[in-house]
Structure 1
Amino acid sequence: MTGGEVEHCAPPPHIGFMPKLSFLDLVPVTDTGTIAQSLANAADLARHAETLGYHRYWVAEHHGMAGIASAATSVVLAHIGHATRAIRIGAGGIMLPNHAPMVIAEQFGTLEALFPGRIDLGLGRAPGSDQRVAHALRRNLASDERQFPQDVLELQAFLAGDDRLGIRAVPGEGAKIPLWILGSSLFGARLAAMLGLPYAFASHFAPDALDEALDIYRRQFKPSEQLAEPYAAAAFNAFAADTREEAELIASSQQQAFVALRTGNPGRMKPPIAGYKDSLPPNARAILDHVLQCSAIGTVDDVAAGLAAFQARTGADEIIIASSIYDHDARKHSLMLTMEAARSL
């Protein structure tokens, strides 16, 4: 995608409705930065997002990756919670097969005690890394993604204080923590619908099943104690700057990171490169365009057009903005311009 281009179907220029905006932070680590600096940046960015009016600040669990500092997700959320006052903060998400449900109930029960009414718990079934890291996390692979639905039910039971468990999660028992199902396939959509939970789709890097997943979720949704009607969020990459040229430049760091990941060479975030995408061979550009198709790169007007098209396509109740940018100030500016774009709809 070049500056100002939006690759979505049937985009109206104005939709007259602004869904809630939230922000997904992978807490990127740059090639010259430190973990401490990345965590300080996350706290500063969360304060900034709160001031701008973002509804929710998500942090995702990844492991064994030199360029991502959010592996200890609940600890990072505590750090962000202490840096902010009112914005909702949540895991987007916890990879539940890596953990005993009781441990997650305790961790997020603790967070809810520290920051009452602000905690969300998104759950995914991927390992958040490769099988070697999954083995290191779990010590064995007896607990795997095939048990994910049962693990979700067990976690719900711990949070509800279900006597049938015979044990209590303290903290955790009685905590009113909204659970979400996250996914990039149809499996999560069906599970979220069956359990009556909100659903978030990872379209910022895996857009292929987006439309079908949202359709299945809405058609099959069964009301629950937590949620009476379906509530769908979808992720969207937004790189906003004062000019298209600057936006293309700041987007190139994430593009480099994605190419590095796809070619088996992940690492710390690298500085932006002017003309990076044009320097790639056609097949690499095509892969980048396809995987990152739910994106807008450009000025406020460009990002507004992208958000309008994406919202018209998905009908999302909430759009999760993703944008890993090398320069912290440029990232804050992009976040501000993206909110400005959303408010213009």
Structure 2
Amino acid sequence: MDRRRTLRQRLATQRLSAAPLPRAADVVRLLACVQSQERDHAFFSLGLRSRDTTYAAVRAAYDRGAFLRTHILRPTWHFVLPDDVRWILAATSPRVLRAMSYRHAQVGLDDPAHVTRSLDALGELLRGRAFLTRREIGAAFGERPGLPSAGEQLGHLLLLAELEGLVCSGPMKGVHHSYALLDEVVPPAPALGRDEALARLAHRFFAGHGPASLKDLARWASVTQADARAGVAATLAATPGALEEVEIDGITHWFDPSLPRRTTAGRAAHLLPVYDEAVLTYPAVNFPAAPGHPTGGAVDPFWEPVIVDETNAGLWRRTVGKDAVAVETRLATGLDHEQRALVLEAARRLADFLGRELDYREVTGGPAADDAKARRAAIG
């Protein structure tokens, strides 16, 4: 399979160019986990793929617990369904926790008694569906000696509690993330054996992200390539034909043949949000830079990709105000008038999602010189 056909198939499978799924939670189910440390950007990722086409609709689904936001996989924040959180954590977290042990020692979480005491206190604090933000948890911990009350130690304790399945997200409180006890918001479920969990993880990943490679799966899920290979073998042993393979640049890629492979929507551009699964998942086979791309296709941490006709056609960023959203694009010089019109329409879709007027500006050249200060701050 050539690269262009691969990219078209992924866009269709992920419902960016095929019929949208009914609800935001259906997108989370399709993709198994959706990276979401930039929560509002990730809400837009779900809106792009579903008929929940407004921020209000996606947030309402999140607040009622249709999907969760928790540290899982690499680890970073992801959206995940309540039905999936336990078995995915069981399959992936032990390896993640081992990898993080050195960092936990650096922040003072290497004393088992201290960790146990802190996690017990966290459980007591959240009991009874007392949804609390990190700041509220820190304030309550500050009233009790010997507990982390601020800074990195508290942040890593909460991450540890998520990876161990003690806590997950509660509803938003204003603009802030809250925490809940997992056992109070997610019904119990039978545990899966590791082989069954790896098979389910492999099938779900390739169904939502295929065509993709074993290396893509291993990176995405924080499992070994041997585990990824075992998951595919177990899937095919249990359900022959559940996955098909194609060769791309000499590497085997897998996909679920029952899911959409062809574009059914009209021609469109996509302003993909930060960490979108359609881009982040595939380090090796990704959207090529269009001629005259302002950065040659290099990743810029302060801008996101514009996708037009299976190419990385430029960069975009947004600034959300009370009544309007300012969208600035820097597009490849090779785009024609029709392609630029598609980008403008994609910007209108973002404004509609946010329920704001659009203030659109296309500028020329690479990222502005005024980004330099922000880059230096990010570097340290």
Q: What's the TM-score once normalised by structure 1's chain length? A: 0.30
Q: Which has the higher contact order (CA 8 A, sep 6+)?
A: 1
More strand by share: 2
